[in-house]
Structure 1
Amino acid sequence: MMLLLFIPIGITVHLAEKIGKILENEVPLNEVLLYLLDFTIYFAHILFPLFLFISVIWFTSKLANNTEVIAFLSSGVSFYRFLRPYMIGATIVGILAIILGLFLAPKASEGFNNFSYKYFKRNKGVVENTNVFRQINDNDIIYVSYFDVKRNKGSNFTLEHFEDDQLKYKMYASNIVYNEADSTYTLTNYVKRTIGENNDELEILKKKDTVFSFEVDDLIPEIFAAETKMYGDLKRFIAKEEARGSSNVGRFKLVLYRKWSLPVSVFILTLIAVAVSSIKRRGGMGVNLALGICIAMVFVFFDKIFGVMAEQSDFSPIIAVWFPNFIFSILAIYLLYNAKR
């Protein structure tokens, strides 16, 4: 019910922000409707724990304000027995979260990002991917300072070929252009240095057409690729990116681990919400909601901070994902202990 109440508000605000570009690009109505459906699933998945938390606080506070919780416990029902239906509900919601994260959210993310790129970003001029550095196989490493996705054109291209950990030759070009018609590459200001035992050999050309073993996708770091892949495909994708030396592996692993940490957070947030809102307070439901929302915001803050640390540094993604759950599970135990008393 909370999702049904808040999602139309989110759609209205988002549509109001993007309506100008939608009309400007004359987007067909069916594509807009599919985009809004993807938007709904995409953001419902992101905000799933927050809505669950608010929902549990809402109806538990109603029980507490009507002294129903006191009636339960006074009749001899233990607090843990009182928690049983909450845990059953959390299990059902957790299963839904797994289905949403493994199957529905990746497809929605793909549609959401494809639509955004097609209609919202295409008029920005150059769409760049900067400082692409990849190991494409056991022997070759490539680098481009930036790559224009729309024109399939990159600058400052370098390829280094190694054998037995020894550099054998190095190619450089000021520009590289991918030709879709015949899957070849055009290199401008081409220089190839072949390493010899005594002297190096230089090959210098103004322009050179050639083929490479890598694909044009290897020159494009897919920042949102992890969000659009099913679980099995995502694991294989991460292994491939690790072999290439991608700088975005931490970001991809965060997506992988969150598919399982989210269902666990469902149970933790449910316990915290029950503990906070099962006590009748003088200020009524408003105090419980304010306290619960503050706790939820701290949880989101921790999750984002550790997520950014994993994306931008060598901080372990698995610790970044599970540490907020660990901290708040301790908080849940403490709050439950006091609520039971």
Structure 2
Amino acid sequence: MKILDWYILKRYLITFLMMLLLFIPIGITVNLAEKIGKILENEVPFPEVAMFYLDFTIYFAHLLFPLFLFLSVIFFTSKLANNTEVVAFLSSGVSFSRFLRPYMIGATIVAGLALLLGMYLAPEASKGFNDFDYKYFKKNKKAQETGSVYRQITDHDFIYVSSFDAKNKMGQNFTLEHIVDNRLEYKMSARNIRYIEKDSVYRMIDYVKRTIGKDNDILESERRKDTVFSFDLDDLTPLEYIAETLTYGDLNRFIEKEKQRGSSNIGRYELVKYRKWSLPVSVYILTIIAVAVSSIKRRGGMGVNLAFGICIAMVFVFFDKIFGVMAEQSDFSPLVAVWFPNIIFGVLAAYLLYHAKR
């Protein structure tokens, strides 16, 4: 039986690799055709373009991992079925569960690769991909501007800005309140605040500070004031893709820090965290579905299996995106949003596997 295991396992891994090698160049070509004008216009150095497309490859390979895997398993298992190899295996006394074992071994290898990518490699690729995208393709857009921000930055200090531009490190209508034992001790305000990198100071325009006294308040005002704060202004409102650029350990620490600050984007960050674990699990689920669907020889041949498989894959992606948006835009649990598609398709996998065994 080891010959059968090696035969299927090699077909599993080689077909998956070939699927990646087939579709990734197509993705690069389409993206390059779309952005070649801006690359030439901005005179982007070739090494930067090459590094961008290396990051692009890792980023989208990880993003589309389940789809590539699903189609590759359906493709080569359908070929086995059309050549009546599956019938020969099962007719020799091999149970369907035993026939499935090399697929599970292959799924374990691919799931381990997906886990490694999600924890360490994909975050680095995502950072390079997004940084390059904003530097050359979105530099004239206000994609890095946010709405109002109110956060606790220390045990006693609270900060507010009505809008924040991460690209220029500037906040509008700045306020800082220092509160001890539920008592306001002083309050700073400015029309805007900006971090001056070359001087390592914060510059406030139309600065006003009111210190609360027992009898009289002390009022201080200046047209422009440069000072130093213990917080990082650009860290107060991270870019929307920041969670995708952090390794798993850094992401956990980042989420805890954001919870203490009262960030409104916790759902988005936790969604990225939970997906690092749900993706490897989906590899097993989609492998079982693909084998159950394509191991039967059909009158329409491989095309019917591929069409059916593509429909299932699209539904899976649809569920994943819908619940992801719900978690990002509402109070819907990120944990439920990430695992619900796996649960639904896990039930479907069990149902299809039961009927395939029969």
Equivalent-residue separation in structure 2 for 1:320 and 1:2 (angstroms): 28
Name the SS for the 1:167 alignment partner. strand
Correspondence for 1:35 = 52
Whichever residue aligns with residue 6 of structure 1, its letter is: F
Name the SS for the 1:138 alignment partner. coil
Cα shift at 1:294? 0.9
Equivalent-residue separation in structure 1 for 2:248 and 2:143 (angstroms): 32
Cα shift at 1:123? 3.5
Q: Which stretches in structure 1 are left out of the alignment for 5+ residues?
A: none
Q: Indicate how the Cα distance of structure 1 residues 136 and 270 shifts in structure 2: closer, same or farther if over 3 A, else same.
A: same
For residues 243-288 of structure 1, the C-alpha deviation after alignment (integer angstroms, 9 at most, x for no partner) is 1111222111111111111111100000011111112222111111
Equivalent-residue separation in structure 1 for 2:337 and 2:187 (angstroms): 38
Whichever residue aligns with residue 240 of structure 2, its letter is: I
Correspondence for 2:160 = 143
Name the SS for the 1:21 alignment partner. helix
- With 175-184 and 19-28 compared, the bigger mean Cα shift is at 175-184
For residues 199-257 of structure 1, the C-alpha deviation after alignment (integer angstroms, 9 at most, x for no partner) is 65544433332222211323442322211111111111111111111122211111111
Whichever residue aligns with residue 155 of structure 2, its letter is: D
Q: Indicate how the Cα distance of structure 1 residues 262 and 68 shifts in structure 2: closer, same or farther if over 3 A, else same.
A: same
Q: Indicate how the Cα distance of structure 1 residues 248 and 127 shifts in structure 2: closer, same or farther if over 3 A, else same.
A: closer
Correspondence for 1:71 = 88
Correspondence for 1:168 = 185
Correspondence for 2:307 = 290
Cα shift at 1:198? 6.6
Q: Indicate how the Cα distance of structure 1 residues 254 and 16 shifts in structure 2: closer, same or farther if over 3 A, else same.
A: same
Structure 2 residue aligned with 1:85, among 96, 102, 105? 102
Asked if residue 96 in structure 1 is aligned to residue 128 in structure 2, the reply is no
Provide runs of 4+ in structure 1 moved above 6 Å.
none
Contact 1:144 1:219 in 2 (8 A): no
Q: What number of residue pairs does the alignment pair up? A: 341
Whichever residue aligns with residue 302 of structure 2, its letter is: M
Equivalent-residue separation in structure 1 for 2:128 and 2:218 (angstroms): 49
Equivalent-residue separation in structure 1 for 2:197 and 2:59 (angstroms): 33
Q: Indicate how the Cα distance of structure 1 residues 126 and 40 shifts in structure 2: closer, same or farther if over 3 A, else same.
A: closer
Structure 1 residue aligned with 2:289, among 253, 261, 272? 272
Whichever residue aligns with residue 106 of structure 2, its letter is: G
Contact 2:186 2:211 in 1 (8 A): yes
Correspondence for 2:222 = 205
Cα shift at 1:155? 1.1
Asked if residue 16 in structure 1 is aligned to residue 30 in structure 2, the reply is no
Q: How does 1:235-254 map to 2 (within 5 A)?
A: 235-254=252-271
Contact 2:166 2:234 in 1 (8 A): no
Cα shift at 1:182? 2.6
- With 90-99 and 172-181 compared, the bigger mean Cα shift is at 172-181
Give the fraction of aligned pairs with identical amino acids, expressed as a percent: 74
TM-score normalized by the length of structure 1: 0.94
Structure 2 residue aligned with 1:216, among 230, 233, 244? 233
For residues 75-104 of structure 1, the C-alpha deviation after alignment (integer angstroms, 9 at most, x for no partner) is 211000110110011011111111111121
Whichever residue aligns with residue 45 of structure 2, its letter is: P
- With 92-101 and 42-51 compared, the bigger mean Cα shift is at 92-101
Q: How does 1:123-134 map to 2 (within 5 A)?
A: 123-124=140-141, 127-134=144-151
Contact 1:159 1:170 in 2 (8 A): yes
Equivalent-residue separation in structure 2 for 1:143 and 1:195 (angstroms): 19
Q: Which stretches in structure 2 are left out of the alignment for 5+ residues?
A: 1-17
Q: Indicate how the Cα distance of structure 1 residues 51 and 203 shifts in structure 2: closer, same or farther if over 3 A, else same.
A: same
Whichever residue aligns with residue 145 of structure 2, its letter is: E
Equivalent-residue separation in structure 1 for 2:124 and 2:81 (angstroms): 41
Equivalent-residue separation in structure 2 for 1:41 and 1:108 (angstroms): 6
Equivalent-residue separation in structure 2 for 1:52 and 1:141 (angstroms): 48
Correspondence for 1:106 = 123
Equivalent-residue separation in structure 2 for 1:101 and 1:149 (angstroms): 26
Contact 2:149 2:161 in 1 (8 A): yes
Correspondence for 1:154 = 171
Asked if residue 305 in structure 1 is aligned to residue 318 in structure 2, the reply is no
